[in-house]
Amino acid sequence: MPAELDADAVPGVRVKVRFAGQLVDGWLLERADDSGHTGRLAYLEKVVSPEPVLAPEVARLARTVADRYAGSLADVLRLAVPPRHARVEKDVRARAAADGPGPDAPDGPGADGWPDYPAGPALLRALADGRAPRAVWSALPGEDWPARYAEAVAATVAGGRGAVLVVADNRDLDRLDAALHDALGPGRHVSLSAALGPARRYRAFLAARRGDVAVVVGTRAAMFAPVARLGLVAIWDDGDDLHAEPRAPYPHAREVLLTRAQLADAAAIVGGYTRTAEAQLLVETGWAREVVADRATVRARMPAIAPTGDDPQLARDPGAATARLPSLAWTTAREALRADLPVLVQVPRRGYLPSVACAECRTPARCPHCAGPLALPSAEGTPACRWCGRVAAAYACPECGGRRLRASVTGARRTAEELGRAFPGVPVRTSGREEVLATVPGGAGLVIATPGAEPVAEGGFGAVLLLDSWALLTRADLRAGEEALRRWLAAAALARPAAAGGRVVVVADGALAPVQALLRWDAGWFAARELAERRELGFPPAVRMASVTGAPAAVADLLAEARLPAEAELLGPVPADGERERMLVRVPRAWAAALADALHSAAGVRAARKAVDPVRLQVDPLALF
């Protein structure tokens, strides 16, 4: 350590060191009088900034996450600490010197909604007392979940500790941010999201790192947020795939937060309208307790839910089995509009006609150039390829020569057009990729939304129609049923209670397990059933799996180098995108650490040999098929 850098070189600062003749970025993790190295030591070249942005507990967490996901510490630290913004650092230091102490802690938590859950008041008391309860919370229909989380945070802060909360998207973040402002007062928390931009994000990060605030909320960018005396971690809707980090080593926000709770002896809340198999595993192993309402409260709060594919409905409407909008759904929407109530229609696909086929022989329409699927952008539009974008104005079916096209899948915009004609004079709004609505007025109107883009209606929706259920249930995905139920419950939760006229119609067979869980509003039952089936079949989370994707020779090379546990089972190979292939490695959960270590070591050997073809390692991937 050069003498001139001694004062600034504290643990947690960014530094530069000379490695293999080049200056590279690094972190100063610890200082010691003796390194134990008998050879020659190099000097630290530079302290980039005297700001200790890497907290010791975050460094420890990053090391654990890297080991858990067979990744490197450097990759995790790039996710944990946002890029430096020098001007923001200068402003923060100047303001810290001028400002006095921060605002006082709130007097105490409220508990407006938690008494609806038998274990809710005890959860708040434990948080206020500084204990570490762990809960899997199944929210009631119509629940103001941001307010419940704000009450839990207020209890934690009143007990002298901090909190980190993670949601899936910025729309949920805005709701949670407003609820925390009401519960804690101004200046008591910060929002951390990649959408803030470099300066605002770094300013919020430094506020948490310096201890100016005790609470951080955000999207998955906040899962590593530094909070002093961490007392609570919470995640909402952990089944949303936005919680999975798309950059190496691909950690999931739920797993990172649960690891933080374990390392810091903090409380944890995994909440949602639905329940994932991973959350159910926490309950069944005793790591967490479930927080649910009794059945009488659930029935009083839920809307009336009916399927269109059960026997009584088919007897009244034989066409319900094949109709996209059966008579029950149409009648439900009409009655709600007559009562001057808004109607929500959930459509799984965006666009107009995202998939078309030959009108004569039903052969899917493909691009003549790249074989990608053709789609129609509008009623007057020309079919165009969804992959390469080429227009297929002179399309002819290669099977029968037909030139007319029909819809294979109907998108949200086409649905809005059809319903607008069916209910003339009723305002029609769409919420999806192009524009996501946060709220809509409470009067008569139609809202066509894709899953995850459903707005909140003033007073609740009078009717919710869940269309094209087959598009969700027939996906080649391990989580197809779980994902369908998650999307249905999220939409149905926006409806009014049955006593206030709220109705939900799902266009599906009532005998299907996800539909049964929706009809009874019993996500716990479905999660237990799903976990039992995965345990029997050897699927996550009952086992630990890793995927190895790359060129066939590179995949074989890595697996040959890896010293896998004896209990490891190799599945594959199967084709991946392009000319790559994928192998799956499955081990019992007890051997998860050994699997990750073996794969990480093998990847390190290939890197040392400067192997040309990259291999993607992913532990517990969301998609197995």
- For residue 596, being part of any structural domain is answered with yes
Question: Is pLDDT of 74 > 70?
Answer: yes
| pLDDT tens, position by position, 573-593 | 988 877 899 999 999 999 999
- Give the least confident one: 223-237, 399-413, 442-456, 477-491: 399-413
Overall average pLDDT of the 196-203 stretch = 93
Residue 79 within a domain: no
In the structure, what pLDDT confidence band is assigned to residue 291 with cuts at 50, 70 and 90? very high
**Mean pLDDT value across the chain:** 89
Torsion angle of alpha carbons 277, 283, 286, 290, nearest 10°? Answer: 160
CATH no. for residue 129? 3.40.50.300
> Which residues constitute the domain of residue 554?
542-619
DSSP, res 318: G
Tell me which of 487, 520, 553 is where a domain ends: 520
Task: Looking at mean pLDDT, say which of 23-37, 447-461, 514-528 comes out highest.
Answer: 514-528
Question: Over pLDDT 70: what percentage of the chain?
Answer: 90
Q: Are 307 and 423 found together in one domain?
A: yes
289 forms beta bridges with: 135
Q: Is 370 annotated as a binding residue?
A: yes
Burial letters 66-102, b for 16+ CB under 10 A, else e? bbbbbbbbebbbebbbbeebeebbeebeeeeeeeeee
Higher pLDDT, 624 or 285: 285
Q: CA 396, 397, 403, 405 torsion: positive or negative?
A: negative
Q: Is residue 585 part of a domain?
A: yes
Q: Is residue 363 part of a domain?
A: no
Binning pLDDT at 50, 70 and 90, where does residue 409 land? low
Q: In terms of domains, do 437 and 554 share one?
A: no
Please check if 397 is assigned to a binding site.
yes
Let me know the angle formed at the C-alpha of 241 by 235 and 244, rounded to the nearest 5 degrees.
75
**424 marked ligand binding residue:** no
Q: Assess whether 558 and 414 both reside in one domain.
A: no
Are the CB atoms for 183 and 165 separated by under 8 Å?
no
Q: Is residue 272 part of a domain?
A: yes
- 41-55 burial: b if 16+ Cβ within 10 Å, else e: eeebbbbbeebbbbb
pLDDT tens digits, one per residue of 254-271: 999 999 999 999 999 999
Over range 51-58, report the average pLDDT. 96
More confident residue, 416 or 244: 244
How many domains does the chain fold into? 4
CB-based contact 93:620 (threshold 8 Å): no
Per-residue pLDDT of 118-174, as tens digits, reads: 999 999 999 999 999 999 999 999 999 999 999 999 999 999 999 999 999 999 999
Q: Is 367 flagged in the annotation as binding?
A: yes
- Give, to the nearest 10 degrees, the angle between helix 552-561 and helix 592-608: 120
What pLDDT does 220 receive? Answer: 94
> Does 151 share its domain with 228?
yes
Phi, psi angle pair for 570, to nearest 5°? -95, 130
Do residue 213 and residue 319 come from a single domain? Answer: no
Listed residue (601, 597, 524, 504) closest to 558, CA to CA: 601
Assess if residue 386 is contained within a domain.
no
> Per the confidence metrics, is the pTM higher than 0.85?
yes
385 carries a ligand binding annotation: yes
- The response to whether 622 counts as a known ligand-binding position is no
Name, in order, each residue with C-beta under 8 angstroms of 143's C-beta and a sequence gap of 6 or more.
113, 273, 301, 493
Residues 472 and 558 in one domain: no
296 is an annotated ligand-binding site residue: no
pLDDT, tens digit, 9 for 90 and up, residues 351-384: 444 556 787 776 778 888 777 777 776 656 778 8
Residues 269 and 340 in one domain: no
pLDDT, mean of residues 375-401: 77
Residue 105, annotated as binding a ligand:
no
Residue 62 lies in a domain: no
623/576 Cα distance (integer angstroms): 12
